[in-house]
Structures are given as C-alpha cells and as structure tokens.
A = this chain, B = another copy of it.
Amino acid sequence: MEVRPVRWEGEALVLIDQTQLPHRLVEIRYRDWREVAEAIRRMVVRGAPAIGAAAACGLTLAAEAVEAADMSLFRQRWLEAAEAFARTRPTAVNLFWAIERMKAVVAACDSPHEARRRLREESEAILREDVEANRAIGRYGQELVPDGARILTHCNAGALATVGYGTALGVIRAAVEAGKRVHVYADETRPRLQGMQLTAWELVQEGIPVTVITDNMAGMLMRRGEIDLVVVGADRIAANGDVANKVGTYSVAVLARWHGIPFYVAAPTSTVDLSAADGSAIPIEERSSEEVTHIGGVRIAPEGVHVINPAFDVTPADLVTAIITERGVARSPYTQSLSQMVLASTGEAR
C-alpha cells in the first residue's frame, strides 16, 4: 500500500487523519476550505511538504467556493482564504511557498472561471512534483547510506509528511530499493510522538526494520556505536543552511557531532527560505501546553505545573554534514550551494 496523505479524489480533497494513527487508518474528505485550514492547524495533516500541498488544495477549494463573477472581487475574497491558510502554522515555509505559488496563478488569470481551473491544475502539479522531488532526494541520498547502516531519524519525515515517499524516509526507502540492508532507530518524538506513531507505522507497513526509542536514548546508542548516520527532514532551511525542524533535532545534531556521526537533512528546495539569512529569522511555533501535559486526552502532568512547548528548534549549519535536495547534495558553504539549487529549481518551474 502506498501512503498518500494528501490527494484529490474527484472534487474532494482526501487527507489521512494522522491524529488517529497508528491505531486507525482513517481518511477524511474535504470540500470546505475552512475545514482544510483547521485540519492543518490540528495536525490532521502535518510535515512541511504535506502542509504546503494541503494548503494548495485548500486554496483550490476556496476558489471554487468564492462566488464572484468579477475578477477583482474574486481576488479579494480568495485572498482572504490565502491569509487564513497563512495563519495556520508559522514555521513550515512550504506553506508560504505554496500560497505564493497559488497567488501567482491567480494574478495571471483574467476570470474567476480561468482561475478556478488553473488553481486546480497548479495544485495537481504541486502534488505530482512533491513525489517526484522526494524520489530524486531518495536517489541522491541513498548514495550516502552504506549497506548495513543503522540509521537514526527524528519525528516523521516520511510519506505521511509529504505527498508520498517522504524526504528522510525517502532516503531510507531508496536505500532499501537499491538493495541495501538498513535498520532504523526512530526517536519517539515527544510531545506528539510522530516518531513512534507515524514513522514506525510507515516502516512496519513496508517491512523495513525499525526500533522505537525514547528521545533520551539516542546518545546512549551513539556511545555504544550503534548508530551509523542520522537523517531528518526540515520545516524551514535558512539561506546559510541553519535548519528548523521538530524540537529535539538540535540535540540529536549535537550528539551526532560529538560522536563523529554524519547528520543529514533531507528536504525539497521548497523548504529553503532564501529570505531568512539564518536560523534566527525563522519563527518558532509555540503550541498548546496540553500536548505536553496530556497524552491521548489523559492528563499525565501534576496540576499547577508550568510547561513550554516550542514545536521546533534550529540546528546551526555547522552541525549539518549535508542537505539532500531534489537537485543534489548541498554541502557547506550552504549560502552558495543552497541558493544555486533553489534558483535552478525556481527557474525550471516557471
């Protein structure tokens, strides 16, 4: 079974409800763009590329819902939807990349009718290109994976985080497809347990060997010599190669460097934000404290205790061995290597 967390089915957008995994595989059909925005906020769909793709589809539904014969009125009302999507999640830059791409389509259209048709085509292109990009990331990335590698990953940068195939897990899938034996260690990734509930689920489906560890076991495994490389995804990569990704990524990167283990980031060029000079320019989403104090709706924390819940952290570029994109493997100095890949990608798409 190929996992497709974001897909069109006729007129409806279909999302896998990732809040119900690994216990139930439930798909939800959407016709109302407001519900899609809410699904992004609630993390029914999550992962930077999947968020971008879902927003593109949501903006297509929004265009179909806007009642306006006049293009100027259409634009005005549709832009309100675009703004609503922009407010859902602040860190994943693919969201803003997708919104900008959809805005450019609307700007080039002369009628609401044309806009509706071309937005749908653009959303379909975004879905298609994302899977293609992930397969290219896999091809480049798998060359960095030795046969027999024991690979640590954090959070979920799999098929579920994208339109399909995955970024970090795409590298692992491609290594397996190339005939390499691998063993994956998945950090469980508190507070929302994406490593345990999504990454492990995906890999179990495909028969790729996986061991789930609590986040605090990674250092011990590295010291014992049981990790050969780390590969993670990214929510936003600054021009200098600083990487915002799920909270805990930074700790893993420090531990990897301490133990001399390569630390790779796998992400499409749509995750690179050249307008952010470095990681300090990346907004970090603070999510509800209940994600920390509760698990599965059950309170685990004592009453009256204070918690924090930054969803992401920033790993400085100097801890990143390489960034694997669909354009190749970028290495330091990233300011140069990344901008070349992004510009090549933008040039071809337009």
Inter-subunit contact A214/B197 (CB<8 Å): no
- In the bound complex, residues from chain B placing their C-beta under 8 Å from that of A191 are 214
B313 pairs with A247, CB closer than 8 A: no
Q: How many chain copies does the complex carry?
A: 2
* Chain B residues whose C-beta falls within 8 Å of the C-beta of A254 in the assembled complex: 219, 254-255, 258
Q: Contact: B220 with A301, CB < 8 Å?
A: no
A45 at the interface (CB under 8 A from B): no
Contact check, B302 vs A295: say whether CB atoms are below 8 A apart: no
Residue of B nearest to A212 (CB): B307
Are B308's CB and A217's CB within 8 A?
yes
> By the criterion CB–CB under 8 Å, are B300 and A296 in contact?
yes
Taking CB atoms, residues of chain B closer than 8 Å to A154 are 216
**CB–CB B248/A216 < 8 A:** yes
Asked whether B212 lies within 8 Å of A190 as measured between CB atoms, the reply is no
Give the size range of A's interface with the partner: 35 or more
A51 at the interface (CB under 8 A from B): no
Known: A190-B188, A295-B295. A220 touches B22 (CB 8 A): no
A310, B217: Cβ atoms under 8 Å? yes
How many Å lie between the Cα of A205 and that of B237 in the bound state? 43
In the complex, residue of chain B having the shortest beta-carbon distance to the beta carbon of A203: B305
The reply to whether the CB of A251 lies closer than 8 angstroms to some CB of chain B is yes
User: Complex: how many Å from CA A213 to CA B248?
Assistant: 11
Q: How far is the CA of A293 from the CA of B212 in the complex (A)?
A: 9
Per-residue CB contact flags for chain A residues 270-305 toward chain B (1 = under 8 Å, else 0) read: 000000000000000000000011011011111111
- In the bound complex, CA of A189 to CA of B298 (Å): 18
- Chain B residues within an 8 Å CB radius of A74: none
Name A residues whose Cβ lies closer than 8 Å to a Cβ of B.
21-23, 154, 187-191, 193, 196-197, 200-201, 204, 209-220, 223, 247-248, 250-252, 254-255, 258, 292-293, 295-296, 298-308, 310, 313-314
What are 19 A-to-B residue pairs whose CB atoms are below 8 Å?
A22-B303, A188-B292, A196-B300, A196-B302, A200-B302, A201-B305, A215-B248, A217-B308, A218-B251, A219-B313, A220-B247, A220-B313, A220-B314, A223-B250, A251-B251, A295-B295, A295-B300, A296-B298, A296-B300
Apart from the given pairs A216-B252, A217-B313, A295-B296, 20 other A-B contacts in the complex at a CB distance below 8 Å? A154-B216, A187-B216, A188-B190, A189-B216, A190-B190, A190-B215, A197-B302, A204-B303, A211-B306, A214-B215, A217-B247, A217-B308, A217-B310, A219-B313, A220-B248, A220-B251, A220-B313, A220-B314, A254-B255, A298-B298
